Amino acid sequence: MTLKKFVRDIGGGTMQKGKFPYEYININNYVSELDKSEPFPREAFDNKLKNKSISEDKYQENLVEAAKFTTRWDQARSYNIQDTRIMIEPIDNLIKMMFKYKIDMLVMFSMSQCANAIKYSSAYDDFKMNGDYNIEDTDKPINITIPYWTAKVESYIEQDQKKNRDSSNNVTIDDYEYFKELFEKQRCYFCNCKLTWKNRPTLDRINNELGHSKDNVLPCSKEIQLTETATNDINELGCVLINQKGYYWRIEQCIAQIQCSWRNKDQSSGIFGQKGIFN
């Protein structure tokens, strides 16, 4: 965007930069030329790069402007000040425009960054906590096999033993029929999406202090990732659930679990402790 368009579109076009003969002034003649009191001659405004000359009307406007100054030094100084001031109004308007979306332009200098932030801000305004944003999968519900379930059972035992959790009551291979039916009929308890071979299921623990026992797990999509942020204030906790397609899913189901983990956190092992929130 050129300065002219920036001032016109963002600043409202209320200020003008004016004209100054850049090409006419150089390192060899600037002292003698700027010491003069008479206006610059018309040929001083010729643009050799674009092969253009100033119009008679524009030159007459420049003569009126030049009459306000004692020397060309004064005119050059005024032009440089105006060259800076002309940016102030558009920048102020930009700051006000971004402030409406709670965007700090001291952090986001790039207009593409600001535009991207506005996009997400607008999407957030329309976001409904209890809304259903699933794109319904046409695939059939998953029908897990015994080898698949066996691998999951062994993985849960390994996870719990590694974290020194009691695994004596963990789900077993004998629970195959129960969880086979569970995965077929129920959906991910986070995002309510269908569990299929493309969107494979796993079990998420309700209480992270306990192992993968039958009464301490719920079905969820393996592809869901949890992005968590936390500070010393529980009210500033936030999380975003994102599935493999990049959509934002409902988060109210995990708030209680985050709060529970926060209360039981281990101060010596980071914000949420070594146990973490989710598997």
pLDDT band at 1 (very low <50, low <70, confident <90, very high): low
**Mean pLDDT value across residues 190-212:** 88
How high is the pLDDT of residue 166? Answer: 94
pLDDT above 80: residue 17: no
Instruction: Report the 10 Å Cβ neighbour count for 181.
Output: 12
**Mean pLDDT value across residues 94-100:** 84
**Mean pLDDT value across residues 7-34:** 82
**The two three-digit tokens of residue 18, written as one number:** 């004016």
pLDDT above 70: residue 47: yes
């001291």: which residue's tokens?
Answer: 106
How high is the pLDDT of residue 269? Answer: 38
Instruction: Report the 10 Å Cβ neighbour count for 125.
Output: 8
How high is the pLDDT of residue 89? Answer: 81
pLDDT above 60: residue 58: yes
**Mean pLDDT value across residues 82-98:** 83
- Kindly give, in sequence order, each residue whose CB lies less than 8 Å from that of residue 268, ignoring residues fewer than 6 positions away: none
- Bridge partners (DSSP) listed for residue 220: 202
**The two three-digit tokens of residue 78, written as one number:** 């005024």
